[in-house]
Structure 1
């Protein structure tokens, strides 16, 4: 299926690795020009260079969890052109028992996971509205609905993203700009790999064994009974960013392996 992304310019925050890099690659393969973002300038440039194997990729370094960094990224993007597609993927997670989560932990998680998307949307969505076409996607998580007891502060930010996305979709009603959330389940990214490696070491088993056991043991509601691959998440995101998804807006779309046990 042709997603009709040729000629579109996309910015994917937090796209030097993991799900973000997979989204960037998939959009490039569909013909979009993609701005790759990360906090570190050299790492962002390196990631963009690698992604050039798949299409027209450019680096747009900056820390989108700060107002200054978000503005820096937008300025870099506009040197390439007007952004048609914004994927708010930048995020962090840190397992920590509730009573050990400090005020700084709560604030940092909120700044990175929520305020980055708020700022980037505020900077870029008005231009999409003026041009009569645009796509804004928030990469949330099934943890927005299934709050993980091992990182309540993370779950809180993912729930907040759903509220922001729904509210922004209503704000942009009838403009040709859609706003949606995508909710991945456990996905085999670099951060998750490190987390699983540490769990394996603490239990004295191999990383591969822990990888195979983690989802059935810790997320028993999963219907696929495994980690998803970043490319599987990216496929849904690419569709949501496309011309084909013009009637989908204000939605929370799950690519969670069936973990969320509801039919709506």
Structure 2
């Protein structure tokens, strides 16, 4: 299967590093014109330069805005009026006991993780429908189904991603626009590496081995018994962005290494 996204424009929110950057790289490698999004001009510029260095032929540009605000998405839609592929990746997380998590933490997480995707979808879906083709992908999490007790607020927002993506798929029925959600499990992103750095230095193990031990300890239902790579997550997103995925919509697709213990 050869995925060709040439003549398609893709916007990946929160894509200056981590899974978002891996997705941007995967889409660019498939020929898409890619817009990298982040909060500051410095981090966006660095990410654009990095992607151009890795893929010299890539058509890539940056867009600085905070998708967690209505004004930020308005500015984004002005700077990038049309996209064919929208990947709602921007998100935040934190570990905090339910009884110690104040309203402002809940509301901030909801603004970023849920409303960011709602606002960008609202900005771009009509244009996709008018052109008769489009792809919207929400990056959710296995925490949407396997809600972590130490991150109930986070799990709630990731479950909301599934509701929004399924509802939007139905809303866009017959338009040529597909809407799906991807649920990564533990992934060896910069965030996880930062979390495990001290443990890795103490153990003398490689980061991959340290992450595998973390997965076995904290996600014992994992079937692959390791953290996924960022590219393994990105590969699924690139496929869902492609013409080949035209019959897949309204789906919640897991790339969680089997952490969610279900046959569904």
Task: Specify every segment of 5 or more residues in structure 2 that has no aligned partner in the other structure, as ranges.
Answer: none
1:21 aligns with 2:24: no
Alignment correspondent of 1:61: 64
CA distance in 1, matches of 2:226, 2:80: 36
Q: Give the match for residue 223 of structure 1.
A: 223
Give the alignment's TM-score, normalised by structure 2: 0.94
Aligned to 2:101: 101
Instruction: Name structure 1 gaps, 5 residues minimum.
Output: none
Distance in 2 separating the partners of 1:124 and 1:48:
22
* Count of matched residue positions in the alignment of Structure 1 and Structure 2: 259
1:211, 1:133 → 2: CA distance?
A: 39
Describe the superposition over 1:44-89 as per-residue Cα deviations: whole angstroms up to 9, x where unpaired. 01111221232111001100000111111222223xxx20000000
Higher mean alpha-carbon deviation, 186-195 vs 12-21, is at 186-195
Q: Give me the whole-angstrom Cα distance separating, in 2, the residues matched to 1:110 and 1:262.
A: 27
How far the C-alpha of 1:212 sits from its partner, in A, is 3.3
- In the alignment, the residues of structure 2 paired with residue 212 and residue 255 of structure 1 have an alpha-carbon distance, to the nearest angstrom, of 16
State the 1:197 CA deviation.
3.0
Task: Establish whether residue 185 from structure 1 lines up as the match of residue 185 from structure 2.
Answer: yes
Deviation at 1:150, TM superposition (A): 1.2
Alpha-carbon distance between aligned partners in 2 of 1:206 and 1:196, rounded to the nearest angstrom? 12
- Distance apart, 1:196 and its partner CA: 2.2
- Give SS of 2:135's match: strand
Question: What is the RMSD computed on CA atoms of the aligned residues?
Answer: 1.5
1:70 maps to which residue?
Answer: 73
Q: Secondary structure at the match of 2:120?
A: helix
What is the SS of the residue equivalent to 2:149? coil
Partner of 1:111: 111
**Separation (CA, whole Å) in 2 of partners of 1:211 and 1:46:** 27
Write the distance in 2 (CA, Å) between the matches of 1:24 and 1:91: 15
The aligned counterpart of 1:243 is 243
Report the TM-score when normalising by structure 1.
0.94
Does the Cα contact within 8 Å between 1:88 and 1:139 map onto a contact in 2? Answer: yes
Offset at residue 206 of structure 1 (A): 5.3
Runs of 4+ in 1 over 6 A off after TM superposition: none
Output aligned runs, 1:123-138, within 5 Å.
123-138=123-138
Partner-residue secondary structure (3-state), 1:115: helix
**What SS does the aligned partner of 2:178 have?**
strand
Q: How far, CA to CA, are the matches of 1:210 and 1:8 in structure 2?
A: 39
1:92 is matched with: 92
- Is the Cα–Cα contact under 8 Å of residues 49 and 57 in structure 1 kept in the other structure? no
Distance 2:202 2:102 in 1: 30
